[in-house]
């Protein structure tokens, strides 16, 4: 399922779907073994203003790394679009893969000096030592998680959304109250699940799944009425994986916003260096360009009322 971008403009979205249908998956990556990744092709140059100089404490040779000379990055498997393409984080395709390689380049790591390892989502933010330098996997920054791990500054602001089959009564819901009697599902340990329990407050316990694939299967099979996922994933699912699905709506922002952050072992000083790089990428427009290349906007996803 290779694609250059998925945008919300209908004509472009349609073209992107045709391209997806015509391309076979490429499973040649070696990311799960922890071996050096092949050199990806990206369209985003580094922000020169954020590249560390030799006397900088964030210079490459001064960084304390899990594996000397390598930047070891963790993410879960399967790795889903639009954050990763072809379940291969090492190919540089997909939003989070592109962000990770841009950060690596701005820290003076060549693509072949980046290696990926598989880290299950729930394990990433568990207390204790980490076998990665940072993990990037749509991990929302929360106070509870930040008690035992360190986060970078946010690299993407995201809302949560509800997906139902288009012919389901739930598809017509416009308020949180209208969702309360529905059978709702989400992946375990996610903020998507938290949004169900804390904001929808359904009359029955939500259905909890090991991963998003299991939740999608339950929705397709009619075992549940709707699932909650982050908004970019919702656009991808309804455009590519469940064409009969519909984004019923998205949640109003809570406390302003929810952000994804890169995750580090608690108090890892590398987080300070990554924050400097992210600041440079934001100032130069590089992060915005990557976001525009890979993620959709918020059209056709109305906000739920209370």
Residues 149, 263: Cα–Cα separation, whole Å: 7
pLDDT of residue 34: 44
Question: Which three-class secondary structure state does DSSP give residue 154?
Answer: strand
Note down pLDDT in tens along the chain; length 306 residues: 333 333 333 333 333 333 333 333 333 333 333 434 444 444 444 444 455 566 788 999 999 999 999 999 999 999 999 999 999 999 999 999 999 999 999 999 999 999 999 999 999 999 999 999 999 999 999 999 999 999 999 999 989 999 999 999 999 999 999 999 999 999 999 999 999 999 999 999 999 999 999 999 999 999 999 999 999 999 999 999 999 999 999 987 666 578 999 999 999 999 999 999 999 999 999 999 999 999 865 557 899 988
Dihedral sign computed on CA atoms, order 149, 260, 231, 73: negative
Domains of the chain: 10-156+259-294 (3.40.190.10), 160-250 (3.40.190.10)
Residues recorded for the chain: 306
Residues 285, 267: Cα–Cα separation, whole Å: 28
Confidence (pTM): 0.76
Cβ–Cβ under 8 Å, residues 46 and 106: yes
Cβ–Cβ under 8 Å, residues 77 and 87: yes
What Rg value do the Cα atoms of the chain yield, rounded? 19
pLDDT of residue 12: 32
pLDDT of residue 248: 97
pLDDT of residue 252: 76
DSSP symbol at 72: E
Q: Which residues of 240-264 are buried (b: 16+ CB within 10 A; e: fewer)?
A: bbbeebbbbbbbeeeeeebbbbbbb
Dihedrals phi, psi of 98, to nearest 5 degrees: -65, -40
pLDDT of residue 18: 31
């Amino acid at each position: 399922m290779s694609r250059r971008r998925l945008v919300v403009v209908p004509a472009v979205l349609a073209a992107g779907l045709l391209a997806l249908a015509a391309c076979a998956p490429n499973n040649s990556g070696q990311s799960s073994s922890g071996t050096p990744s092949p050199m990806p092709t990206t369209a985003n140059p580094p922000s020169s203003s954020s590249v560390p100089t030799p006397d900088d404490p964030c210079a490459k040779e001064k960084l304390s790394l899990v594996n000397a000379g390598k930047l070891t990055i963790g993410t879960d498997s399967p790795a889903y679009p639009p954050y990763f393409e072809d379940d291969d984080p090492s190919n540089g395709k997909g939003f989070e893969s592109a962000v990770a390689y841009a950060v690596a380049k701005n820290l003076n790591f060549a693509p072949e000096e980046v290696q990926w390892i598989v880290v299950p989502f729930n394990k990433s933010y568990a207390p204790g030592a980490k076998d990665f330098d940072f993990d990037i996997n749509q991990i929302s920054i929360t106070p509870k998680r930040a008690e035992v791990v360190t986060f970078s500054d946010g690299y993407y602001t995201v809302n949560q959304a509800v997906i139902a089959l288009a012919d389901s009564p739930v598809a017509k819901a416009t308020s949180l109250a209208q969702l309360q009697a529905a059978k709702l599902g989400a992946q375990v340990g996610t903020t998507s699940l938290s949004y169900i329990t804390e904001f929808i407050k359904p009359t029955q316990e939500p259905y909890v799944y090991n991963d998003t694939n299991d939740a999608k299967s339950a929705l397709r099979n009619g075992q549940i009425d709707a699932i909650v996922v982050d908004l970019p994933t919702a656009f991808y699912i309804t455009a590519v994986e469940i064409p009969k699905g519909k984004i019923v709506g998205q949640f109003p922002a809570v406390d302003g916003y929810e952000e994804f952050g890169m995750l580090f072992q608690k108090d890892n000083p590398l987080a300070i260096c990554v924050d400097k790089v992210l600041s440079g990428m934001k100032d130069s427009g590089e992060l915005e360009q990557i976001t525009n290349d890979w993620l959709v906007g918020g059209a056709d996803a109305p906000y739920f009322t209370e």
